[in-house]
Amino acid sequence: MAGHAWGLRYFAKRFYASRSVPIEQIKELRKQTGAPLSEIKKALEEEETFESAIDWLRRRGVELASKKKDRSADDGLVAALFSKDGKSAAAVEVNCESDFVAKTVEFQNLTTGLCRAVLSVTPSAYIPGKILRLSTEEIEKLKSHNLSIHSEKISCEDAISQTVATLGEKITFTNALYLSVGDFGVISSYVHNKLNDSVGKIVSLVSLCWPKETKPKPGVEDIIKDAGKELCMHIVASNPEYVRRGDIPDDVLERERYVLVEQAKSTGKPDHAIQKMVDGRLRKFFEEVVLMDQSFIRDQQLSKPRKVARYIEELSQEVGFQISIGDYVRLAVGKKA
């Protein structure tokens, strides 16, 4: 009897292995487990129920992403990549649970692959020279796009799930940004605490733009791009919040002015002295949060360092036409961009 029962089980296995699995079942098990599609299909071919398919995946050592959904992912990497012509760039933040996993080749490859996927899909709403931040919904849509890791074509979502299974930690695709300048500017980048040329712990991008009628001479764009990299290093170190004073929202500026006035009034000094105190402290506020008002980090050893605004003016004089900062971003692991 034992041999007969074994034979029935063997026949059942062969039958289910040969059957065609409905795509709805594959999608449902994928939703429940987050396991790679290839493994899901095998599990459903081998087993009769969802529960036994999940057990099959576990026996095979397939780590289920659903087990990790409630765990914290505060470490990770950021990356920046350029298009072939250098006129477009993308930056991403991908999070995991530990620095150990973040430094693995598998996690680096995933981060770079997701960045390449962002770069390959030109958003319709972008404005030349301006940073476009993809929404949570747009990032979710992007996960259906294919990326290439070691010449293997795979969807972003499957790549994330497979890396979760390999490394055993929760992984989240947190931030994605896109920047393009067309023929009217250059993009520069800087990666801090880098593991390779495009991946690290902090990345900055900046666009330096010129008037549409301007046609830079050969070699001039390289000069501007090098200057932009210096500016990116400054942005990483100084962490400004706005490009210009005019970019500060009115409510933010009014709130800061109100606090400064109240602080000055508490000193008991006359009104004309209070106004001078407020003006001085407001200038200090601008130097802290406005890029153009900050002292250029490269000049920090000088007794009178240039402001970033002056650095841009001198660059414009050097190349013979007006240069302006189009936009910038500083993306750091675990920090709000």
Task: Locate the domains of the chain by residue range.
Answer: 2-62, 75-238+322-332, 245-317
Q: What pLDDT is attached to residue 69?
A: 55
Question: Are 75-238+322-332 and 245-317 equal in CATH topology?
Answer: no
Question: How many other C-beta atoms can be found within 10 angstroms of the C-beta atom of residue 294?
Answer: 22
Radius of gyration, CA atoms only, the chain: 27
Q: What pLDDT is attached to residue 81?
A: 97
Please state, in angstroms and as integers, the Cα–Cα distance from residue 54 to each residue in 26, 44, 63, 163, following that order.
12, 9, 10, 18
Q: What pLDDT is attached to residue 40?
A: 80
For 245-317, CATH gives 1.10.286.20
Q: What pLDDT is attached to residue 22?
A: 78
Question: How many other C-beta atoms can be found within 10 angstroms of the C-beta atom of residue 151?
Answer: 5
Q: Do the beta carbons of residue 265 and residue 278 sit within 8 Å?
A: no
Instruction: Using the structure block, give the residue that is written with the tokens 């301007």.
Output: 214
pLDDT tens-digit profile, the chain (337 residues): 445 444 444 444 444 444 577 787 887 777 666 677 777 888 888 887 777 887 777 666 555 555 555 565 689 999 999 999 999 999 999 999 999 999 999 999 999 999 999 999 877 788 999 999 999 899 999 988 888 766 678 889 989 988 998 888 889 999 999 999 999 999 999 999 999 989 999 999 999 999 999 999 999 999 999 999 999 999 999 999 999 999 999 999 999 999 888 888 888 888 888 889 999 999 999 999 999 999 999 988 888 899 999 999 999 999 999 999 999 999 999 876 5
Q: What is the 3-state secondary structure (H, E, C) of 132-185?
A: EECCHHHHHHHCCCEEEECCEEEEHHHHHHHHHHHHCCCCEEEEEEEEECCCCE
Q: Do the beta carbons of residue 79 and residue 198 sit within 8 Å?
A: yes
Q: Do the beta carbons of residue 328 and residue 181 sit within 8 Å?
A: no
Per DSSP, the three-state class of 123 is: coil
Q: Give domain 75-238+322-332's CATH number out of 3.30.365.10, 3.30.479.20, 3.40.50.2000, 3.20.20.70.
A: 3.30.479.20
